[in-house]
Structure formats: C-alpha cells, structure tokens
Structure 1
Amino acid sequence: MKKRSLSSTLIIIVVIVYLLIPLFATAIYSLFAKWTDLLPENFTVQNYVELLTEKDFMMSLGRTIIICIIPIFLTVLLVLLALFAVTIYFPKLEKYVQLICMIPYTIQGVILSVSIISLYAASPGVLGNRLVMLTGAYCIIILPYIYQGIRNSMHAVNMPMLLEAAEMLGASKLYAFFRVIVPNIISGITVSSLLAVGIIFGDYVLIRNIAGTSFKNVQIYLFLTMKSSSTKASAVFVIIMITTFLITLLVLYLKSRETKHRNQKVKG
C-alpha cells in the first residue's frame, strides 16, 4: 500500500513539474533583455518594474478582474435559480435545460462576437452598450462550466431530500435553498467559478471584436506588447499567471475559512 502511495505521489509530482515547465521557461526568458543566441544576455528585472509601475498595465489588469467578477456572479445566480426551479417544480425539463446550457461549447468566439454585434450594435437601449454586450458574451461562454459544476454538486447532496427536511422545520423552499443547499454545494460553485476566471483571463477574441481597444484588458495589452518586446510580453504573461494563481488562493482561503466557521457553529 505504501509503495502504491509513493508511486502515485511521484506520478503527480512529475505531471505538475511537466505542466509548470512552460511557465518557468517563460519566466526565465522574461528576466533577460535579449535571448537570440544559445545563452541569454543582460539579466534584468526592468520589465517587471516597468509593468508594475505602469498605470496603463495596472488599469488593464483591473479591468480584467472586474470583467471576470460580474459575468461569473450573474451566471452563478441565474444557474442556481434555474436549477432550483427545474429540480423542484419542473424535473422533466432538466434535460432540455442541460441541452441549452451545453450549446455554448459548440460556439466559436468569432461567431459569437459577430452575432452579438450584428444583433445589438444598433440598439438604442442599454443592450447597445459594448460593455453590456461583452458581459453577456462572457456569461454565454462560461455557462456550460458553471452549469455542469453546480448541477453535479446538487445531485451529490440530494437536494430534494434536504429541502423536504428544511420545510418540515418551517422554512420555505427558496429560503432553504439559499441557506441549506447553496452552502453545501459551495465547493462546486468555487471550482466552476475558478475555471471561468481562467477562461475569461485567457480571452482575446471576444473583447477584441466586441469592445476593441476602448476596454483594454491584459490580453489586449499582451498582444500590443508582443509587437514591441518579446521579453516584456513574457513578463506580462507571467504576471497574468501569478494573478490568476493569487485569485485562486484567495477564493480557496475564503472557502476554507467559511467551511471552518460553519463547522464550528454546528459543533457549538
């Protein structure tokens, strides 16, 4: 048993190292002013100093984080309400809801962006706003990932039985859903949201076609930087990866803290 555990650990370590090789190579490349020969030249951290003190880059990073939070929040809320209604009141419609939520898997970013612009660009109302269109496009792109994660978590906790138990104690269905079910599926929501963060952080097509340069995110900044300096562009990529890593750590920390607090309340 110990040999099997040791071999499994070694395999996991090898896989992690293999997956991190591109990131390490990019980080090393970004620490030199020039690398056109076998060995790099002029070790420097100037690229990182410039980026972290450059207002344009920090603003683009902030825009990316904001445009991540809003679509994820809206999509999670809508999926929770939809699954609540379908599971409790219309269980026969669940397969159709699942089919609709899986459709974005087949939609390419170019097709989606062109379709949205063609349909809403001339609209005089709020739907004609480019940021509103971009938010809606991101909601569509991340919908399958959010839906699948939340749906699997709901099936794992046996939602109908928990709601029945809560109703016997005098709680309404909707109140019990948000006070009992949602805390029990927070792991699925967290994993789905983090996956959505990675998708939005890596997007270039949608924001380029819909918002253009009027809403420059880090991917737009990265594309423009690649035209002038490859080493600086590598530094941008490293900062993007570190940012997503920090967001992941923050979310997981808050989740573990909330779980610990809830367990203490239960024991108390």
Structure 2
Amino acid sequence: MKQSKVWAWIVFGLGALYFLIPLIATIDFSLKIRKAGYTFDAYSAVFADPRFQQTFGYSLLIGLCTIVVGLVIVVPAAYYVRLRAPHLRPVIEFVTLLPLIIPAIVLVFGYIRLYNSSSFLPLTNSNLGTAILLTFAYVALGLPYMYRAVDTGLRTIDVQTLTEAATILGANQLTVIAHVIFPNIIIAVLSGAFLTLAIVIGEFTVASLLGVQVFGVYMQNIGANRAYEPAALSIISFVFTWGAMAMIQLLSRFAPKTAARTD
C-alpha cells in the first residue's frame, strides 16, 4: 500500500513538472525584457496597447453573445429530449460531438462559401454580418461542452415532476423552462458558459479567416514581430482560462447533491 502511494506521488510529481516547467520558463522570460533584472514592462506594454483593449473587449462581447445564443438553443433542446424524446439522446449526443470531429477551418470555409458577396445572404460584406457568423461559429465550437453541462444539470433534477407541477399551476412550456427548469440548473449552465468563454477567448482559426480582429488573432500578430510581449500575453490568457476553470470548480460545490438520474 505504501509503495503504491509512493509511485502515485512520483507519477503526480512528473506530471506536475511536465506542465509547470514550461509555464515557469514562460513567466521568467516575460519578466526579462530589461537586462537589469525582472520587470513587468512587458505586461504594462500589453495592457497599455489599445489593440489589446479593443480585441480583448471584443472577444468578451462575442463570448457573451455566444453564451446567450448557445443557451437559447441548448436548454430547450436538452429539456425536450430529456422530457419527451429520450430515444433521440444518442442522435443529439452524436450531433453535438461533430464540432470536435470537424476541423474549425472546414466550418469557416463553409461559412465563407455560403455567405460571401455573391450569395443570397452576403453576411461577410458587413461588420455586423461577420460578427453574426463568428458568433454562430463559436456556438458550434462550444456546443459539445454547453450541451453536456446542461444535460448533466438536468440529470440532477426531476424534470418530469417539476414540469407536471408547473403545468398544473397553469404555466406554459416557455414559463416552465425559464422560471422552473433554468434556475434549478444554473450551476451547470454557468459551468458550460465558462468553458465556452474560455474557448472563444483563445480561438484563432475562424476569426482569422473571417478577417475579424479578436484576442486570438492579436496574440498571433504580436508573436510575429515581438519577443517578450507574446510571453506576457500567453500568461494572461493562461490565467484567464484557469480562472474560468477555477470558477467551474467553485460553482460545482454549490451544485445539487442529489444523485444523477439516468432514466
């Protein structure tokens, strides 16, 4: 027993070193912009750059829009499958996994071909249209995580009983979803939302090919002609992503402790 614990700690230590050494090296490099010693000048330059403020703010806005659109699509769909059509669950799960199988570059080229200037709906001709395409592309990329988070939340509550009780009291389906189901799965919804936001912040391929200046594109452009600022941006992005993961872990402590329902 003691020997197995020793080997477990050795494996854990090797895994931790595998992830921590590159991170520490990146932090160390980002602080050496001056030869005199460690300094936060690279971080100051990044935060003072108007392009950083613009692209990061735009990515946050697109991320929030993506979360809203994703919830409007996923919550009713997952609720309907859970309540009325459980036989469709394998099909829905397969469809929601497609964004993990189909490369993002295929998705964006399909958008460009369908919505270019010569199509019946030339969305790529305007900033608003491009933002709409970008939002729906991110909804697709975040679909596997959002759907599974919502589906997990629905498994922790008695959807059938809650729906019947609300219906007896005169609530329609929209009211049931908005005022009964949604508040009971809010922790799961927030978990999916944070995962989606982390994906949007770091995404590059779709935004680059659509010609949109988002945070991921800004990071790539900075990395092409500077040395220390890209390292600082990597740490900032890392902190943001792990902050989102920490929020998921924190919120999971407040999740309902009832056993998951699989029927």
TM norm. shorter chain > 0.5: yes
Contact 1:86–1:93 under 8 Å retained in 2: yes
Q: Which residue of 2 aligns with 1:238?
A: 235
Q: Give the drift of 1:219.
A: 1.6
3-state SS of paired residue (1:33): coil
1:151 paired to 2:151: yes
Q: Which residue of 1 aligns with 2:77?
A: 82
Classify 1:8/1:180 alpha carbon distance in 2 versus 1 (closer, same or farther; 3 Å). farther
Q: Which residue of 2 aligns with 1:92?
A: 87
Q: Give the drift of 1:11.
A: 8.4
Counterpart-to-counterpart distance in 1, 2:245 and 2:86: 34
How many pairs does the alignment contain?
A: 250
Counterpart-to-counterpart distance in 2, 1:189 and 1:13: 33
Q: Which residue of 1 aligns with 2:66?
A: 71
Counterpart-to-counterpart distance in 2, 1:18 and 1:187: 32
Gaps of 5+ in 1: 35-39, 261-268
1:130 paired to 2:130: yes
3-state SS of paired residue (1:32): coil
Gaps of 5+ in 2: 256-263
Show CA shifts across 1:27-49 (max 9, x none).
11100027xxxxx7643221111
Contact 2:202–2:237 under 8 Å retained in 1: no
Show CA shifts across 1:184-212 (max 9, x none).
222221222222222222211111111x2
Contact 2:66–2:138 under 8 Å retained in 1: yes
**Residue 205 of structure 1 aligns to which amino acid in structure 2?**
T
Q: Give the drift of 1:120.
A: 1.1
3-state SS of paired residue (1:157): coil
Structure 2 length normalisation: TM-score? 0.79
Q: Give the drift of 1:158.
A: 2.9
Q: Which residue of 1 aligns with 2:222?
A: 225
Q: Give the drift of 1:183.
A: 1.9
Superposition map of 1:25-174 within 5 A: 25-33=25-33, 42-122=37-117, 123=119, 125=121, 127-128=123-124, 129-174=129-174
**Residue 108 of structure 2 aligns to which amino acid in structure 1?**
S
Show CA shifts across 1:192-250 (max 9, x none).
2222222222211111111x2xx322221211111222211101111222334455667
Counterpart-to-counterpart distance in 2, 1:109 and 1:171: 41
Counterpart-to-counterpart distance in 1, 2:99 and 2:76: 19
Counterpart-to-counterpart distance in 2, 1:228 and 1:119: 34
3-state SS of paired residue (2:33): strand
